[in-house]
Structure formats: C-alpha cells, structure tokens
Copies of this chain bind each other. A is one copy, B any other.
Amino acid sequence: MGATKSENFTEKQNQMAIMLKALGHPARIAIMEFLMKTDSCICGDIVNELPLAQPTVSQHLKELKSAGLIKGSVEGTAICYCIDEKALEILRHYFGGISEHLEKRKNNCC
C-alpha cells in the first residue's frame, strides 16, 4: 500500500491525473505563468523569479517536462523552456467539456 493503483484506471484518466498532478504545486503553477507572461524562457530567469533554490527549480522543471507540459531546448550553456501548447489544448478541452456538460444538464442535486 501507499502507492497509487494506476493499473485500475483508464489510460486517459491516468494521463489527465499525471498532467494535473504536475500542476498541483504552486511553484509549478508559478513557472507556467512565468513562461506564459514573459518572452524569456531561460532556466536561469525562472530560478531568479522563484523563491526556491536552483536544484529545486530544476526538479520542478523536470516534472513539468516529464508530464508533457513544457519542452526545453539547449541554447548555448542555457536551457530554454516553453509551454507545450498541445498539452494546454488538452486541458482546455477537458475542462471546457465538463463545464459545457454541467451547463447543459442543470439538474444538480446539491
């Protein structure tokens, strides 16, 4: 016990959970918002922006990347990280769909 029982859920459910879990930390939300708001995407800039040590930020970036939310490219000695638009489109569609569905059937019982 202790570990998530992923094998009993659908591929899609696990995929959504992985992406949302990656976003379920304020530092990673802050990283995504920084990448969105600024034109810069150099890792060092992100480290300066966040109230966390460099190794911690590096770890958060790794998690966002492995969840498919950002991608990185080498830029000299620096690394440029960007939001993966495809992932964001999946999220937008997912929550858009739920909202629309709830809108349609106004039979909320609570």
A interface with B by C-beta (< 8 Å): 4-6, 8-10, 13-14, 16-18, 20-30, 32-33, 36, 39, 41, 51-52, 71-73, 80-83, 85, 88-89, 91-92, 94-96, 98-99, 101-103, 107-110
Least CB separation from A83: chain B residue: B102
Main secondary structure of the interface of A (DSSP, over half): helix
Contact B26 A14 (CB under 8 A): yes
Name the contact of A91 in the complex, choosing from B36, B89, B95, B109 (C-beta under 8 A): B95
Listed by A's residue number, 29 A-B pairs whose Cβ atoms lie within 8 Å are A4-B26, A4-B27, A6-B26, A8-B52, A9-B26, A9-B27, A9-B51, A10-B30, A13-B29, A13-B30, A13-B33, A14-B26, A17-B24, A18-B24, A20-B21, A20-B24, A21-B25, A22-B24, A24-B24, A36-B102, A41-B109, A73-B110, A80-B110, A82-B109, A83-B98, A83-B102, A85-B102, A85-B103, A95-B95
